[in-house]
Amino acid sequence: MARPKAFDHFREVQEEIGKSGAAILRDAEGNEDLIIDSPYSIHYIHSYAQDSPFFLGLAEGKLLGSRCMNHACGFTYATPRGHCMVCGHATTWMELPRQGKVHSWTTCLFGGEAFLKETPYNLAMIEFEGAQSLLLVRLKDCVQSEIYVGMPVEARFAPEPKYSITDVWFVPAK
């Protein structure tokens, strides 16, 4: 049987594994690491517990943040938290606007399995009127050169919710 093909870059190894199921990665010191395809699957029964309203909200086309219930504090979170990071008090849910602005952003050339097919993709920290923290979310329907700090954007929701953060993304505001 032929020895698996050897490559210097992981991306090439990935391609080869997709074809033959095995490849060798040569590292900078000349070591040859055998890499194989090893499918792994698990069903994990996961409870969102106190985060449940956020994911149920996405399925209804709503973006939920949270607000500190301590009136002396009242900090507002675009990434919801059960308890306030500023004063430690419990928070309550609040609906965020569907429009926001790009606070900062980056282009990802690699990603986890859920996003690999979309690479390169853009991730942005979104700021909202009435919220003091930011939300990290994908920015679609635009390319890197079109994105700028302060860019108006609006939320889109998956028509078939999977109750995951991929149920929401942002696009340039019309």
Buried/exposed 74-111: b ≥16 CB within 10 Å, e otherwise: ebbbbebbeebeeeeeebeeeebebebbbbebeeeeee
| Residue 109: closest CA among 95, 96, 123 | 123
- Shortest reach from residue 68's CB to Zn ion, in Å: 3
- Binding of Zn ion by 133 (CB under 5 A): no
- How far is 18 from 65, CA to CA, in rounded Å? 41
Which of residues 36, 87, 116, 149 is near Zn ion by CB under 5 A?
87
Which of residues 54, 75, 105, 169 is near Zn ion by CB under 5 A?
75
Q: Residue 136 in contact with residue 128, Cβ under 8 Å?
A: no
Which of residues 35, 68, 124, 135 is near Zn ion by CB under 5 A?
68
Total residues contacting Zn ion (rule CB under 5 A)? 8
- Shortest reach from residue 67's CB to Zn ion, in Å: 9
Candidate ranges 31-39, 76-84, 96-104, 129-137; the one touching Zn ion (CB under 5 A): 76-84
- Binding of Zn ion by 90 (CB under 5 A): no
- How far is 147 from 19, CA to CA, in rounded Å? 36
- Binding of Zn ion by 73 (CB under 5 A): yes
- Binding of Zn ion by 84 (CB under 5 A): yes
- Shortest reach from residue 82's CB to Zn ion, in Å: 12
Half-sphere exposure of 159 (CA within 13 A, CB side): 0
Candidate ranges 7-15, 52-60, 84-92, 157-165; the one touching Zn ion (CB under 5 A): 84-92
End-to-end Cα separation, the chain, in angstroms: 58
Question: Could you count the other beta carbons within 10 Å of the beta carbon of residue 33?
Answer: 11
The footprint of Zn ion (CB under 5 A) covers 68, 70, 73, 75, 84, 86-87, 89
